[in-house]
Structure 1
C-alpha cells in the first residue's frame, strides 16, 4: 500500500505546480510516449509524484533524470540496457515497466529483455556489452582497474561519468519507489 496519497493537480502549491509543469511539459512529455507520466486523475505516476514532497529537491532530481535520458553520450539502446540493469538489480517494477517500453521501441527483443532481468549481458556485443558490464560493476560498488581501462578507452571518461550518474539516479528512484511503496 502506498505510503503517500497522490498529489492531485488541483491541490498543488505554487512550487509543486511549477515542478508538475516542468515534468509534464518537459522532454519526457515531448515525442513518443512509451509510458504514461500521469494517472487518469492527473496525478504524476511513479517517482515523479514523490518529487512533489520536496519541490526543490524533486526539481533537481528531475533535471538530472532529463539530462541522463536526453543529453548524454550514450547510444539510446545502451542507455536503456543500463537503466534496465539498474531496475533488475533493485527489483524496481515501475522502472522496468517504463523502460521496457522504451527499450522495445529501440529494438530490444524479448530474449534480450529476459537476459537483462537476469543480469546476463552475454547476448550483447560491442558498446552495449561494455556499457552493461560497466553498469553491473558500478552496481557492485566500483570498477576494477581492468574494466576502468577498457571503459575509459572505449567509451571515454565522460560516458563513464554519465554511467555513474545513471546508476546513482536510477538507484535513487528505486529506493524512493520502494520506501514510498509506489506499486505502479
Structure 2
C-alpha cells in the first residue's frame, strides 16, 4: 500500500516555516498529549494519515487541524459516542486509516470487539440508549439528512448543540476520508 501513496512523505527538516508551524501544532497539540493509541508520525518524522496532506496548503490544513482538535477534545460528545460516530464514517467511506486509528481509540474508550465489528458493517444494533441513537443519527447523516422523527429523537437527547457537533464531526471525518482516498494514504 505504501507504494500507492500519491504524496512523498516530508520529514520536518524539509518543511518551510508555515508547514513547520502546522507540523508543530499537530505534533505538539492535544493529539500528541496523553495516551497514544496510534502514531502521528512515521519513523522519519513525517506525519501519518491525513496530516501530511494538511502541509500542502498550510492555511487550510491549519483550519482543518483546529476543527479536528475541537471535535476530538472540546465537544459535549462522550469519548465513546465520538468514536462510534468516527468509525461509522470510516465504514461508510471504507477508510482504512480512520478505522485503524479510531478502533484503537475506541477500544481504549471501552468499546468491545463485538461493537467494533458491528460498526464496520454500519450496524447500530450492538449499542443501547444514547449510543444507539448517536449511531442511527450518524447513519442518517451519512445518507444525507435527518427526517423529522430522526431530528426530534436526536435533538431531544443530544440537544441542538449536540446535533450540530455531530454534523460537524460527520463532515470533518468525511473530508478526511476523501483526502485519504485521493492521496492513497
TM interval, shorter chain, is over 0.9
What residue in structure 2 maps to residue 64 of structure 1? 67
Deviations 1:1-35 (A, max 9, x none): 11110111101000000000000000000111000
Q: How does 1:169-180 map to 2 (within 5 A)?
A: 169-180=172-183
- Name the structure 1 match of 2:29: 26
> Match for 2:10 among 7, 15, 37?
7
Matches of 2:153 and 2:49, distance apart in 1: 35
Q: d(CA) in 1 for partners of 2:70 and 2:109?
A: 19
User: Counterpart of 2:104?
Assistant: 101
CA distance in 2, matches of 1:54, 1:110: 37
| Aligned counterpart, 1:74 | 77
Distance 1:7 1:142 in 2: 38
CA apart distance, 1:72? 0.5
Deviation at 1:123, TM superposition (A): 1.1
CA–CA distance in 2 between the matches of 1:150 and 1:175? 29
In the TM superposition, structure 1's runs of 4+ consecutive aligned residues that sit over 4 Å from their partners are none
Name the residue aligned to 2:48.
Answer: 45
Aligned match for 1:110, one of 93, 113, 133: 113
Q: How many pairs does the alignment contain?
A: 182
Q: For 2:59 and 2:109, how far apart are their aligned partners in 1? A: 33
Instruction: Work out which of the residue numbers 125, 128, 132 in structure 2 matches 1:129.
Output: 132
The SS at the match of 2:105 is helix
Distance 1:71 1:47 in 2: 20
Please state how far the C-alpha of 1:101 moved relative to its aligned partner.
Answer: 0.3
